[in-house]
Amino acid sequence: MPDLYIGLMSGTSVDSIDAVLVDFGSGNTLKPQIVTALGHPIDPPLREAILALCAPGPSELDRAGQLDRQIGQAFAEATNTLLARAGVEAGDIAAIGSHGQTVRHRPPGTVATPFSLQLGDPNTIAALTGITTVADFRRRDMALGGHGAPLMPAFHRAAFATDRNRAVINIGGMANITELAVDGAVYGYDTGPGNVLLDYWVSLHRGQPFDRDGAWAASGRVQTELFNRLMADPYFAASPPKSTGRETFNARWLEQACAGLELAPADVQATLAEVTAASIAEAAHQFADGGELLVCGGGARNKDLLARLRRRLPTWSIACTGSYGIDADWLEAVGFAWLARQTLHGLPGNCPSVTGAREETVLGGIYPA
């Protein structure tokens, strides 16, 4: 019998809503099969409102309340479009796992009372789709002293653990690593910026939403002084558990590093790409001398970025997660479908060795249809 769940995800880049219909099948072996997937567009005014709320500003409470409903409506539209495309009825779906849209992430060590806030009202999603919705995955882990991020390592362990060293690298707006050791241990953390500044810079100077294949970055030259300034940020040297977001790696951070330097825009792009590659490679080096590196997220399509990783990690085999059974574009959304399934079955979804939480715990709240 099919075991159908939907995963919904919108990341730091706020470029679209990833929606996947996943069949987890039957039996004890986890073999998630993507039935249908789509990228649901986020209307430009909604995207602009989300990005504006990601930085402190006036009337935050009113804006957040309205955006919570609006994002929930957009997630519901993505779900209903997905169901129509798949030819599946809402009643056939066990649950939706919705990550929501992060607008503020203040992990331990940054504020006196850490928190993480994702918008996308699950009540609205459940009401407009007729499907039980599981959401708010991060805050139970934080209540137990964790960072609430990254959340994918438990899923990566279930999907990709093997008898050799593997690392899963998700390159979204931010980049994170999951380290799957031969002995079964799991570690992971946010390595730093992924695509967020690359997208910002190419949009600012070329009016493009992203640097296709990394071609513009490949045309530039890494500027050593800028690279050193960027890599001097204390986050890179901090010990795990650690997580980050736009609160640290943003346009102001880049502008401050560029101050006083005469830089060609393409060279800045090349340097940003090198920072992403260098921070990921350093994490892999600290984990093992070599192994298999499985790449997912939007950065998996960036040929220049993958070439930089291969130069820095010559003893690692590097391939996209699609080569291991789950398409790189949809892996994280599949992960949130899996988290919803864990929650409905009363099973833990976090990895304390990753987040720093005191114990494993069931994540999220359940909002019945």
pLDDT at site 30: 75
**Residue 25, pLDDT score:** 87
CA-CA distance, 128 to 367, in Å (whole number)? 12
Give the Cα separation of 255 and 15 in Å (integer).
23
HSE, CB side, 13 Å, CA atoms: give it for residue 166.
Answer: 19
Q: What is the pLDDT of residues 186-228, one digit of tens each?
A: 999 999 999 999 999 999 999 999 999 999 999 999 999 999 9
Residue type, 194: G
Q: What is the mean pLDDT of each run of 10 residues along the chain (369 residues)?
A: 93 92 83 95 96 94 98 98 98 98 96 97 98 98 97 96 94 96 94 97 96 98 98 97 96 97 98 98 96 96 98 98 96 98 97 97 97
**What does the angle CA 327 – CA 21 – CA 188 come to, to the nearest 5 degrees?**
50
97 closest CA partner among 63, 131, 128 = 131
Rounded distance between C-alpha atoms, residue 7 and residue 340, angstroms: 8
3-class secondary-structure state, position 115 = strand
Q: What is the CA radius of gyration of the chain?
A: 20
For residue range 102-137, what is the model confidence (pLDDT) as tens digits? 999 999 999 999 999 999 999 999 999 999 999 999
Place of tokens 């599981």: 134
Structure tokens at 143: 């209540």
pLDDT for res 13: 85
Rounded to whole angstroms, how far apart are CA atoms 76 and 365?
17
CA distance 169 to 355: 16
**H or E element at residue 191:** strand 186-193
* pLDDT for res 31: 84
β-strands 115-119, 95-106: how paired?
Answer: antiparallel
Cis peptide before 45 (omega within 30 of 0): no
CA 256 to mean position of chain CA atoms: 26
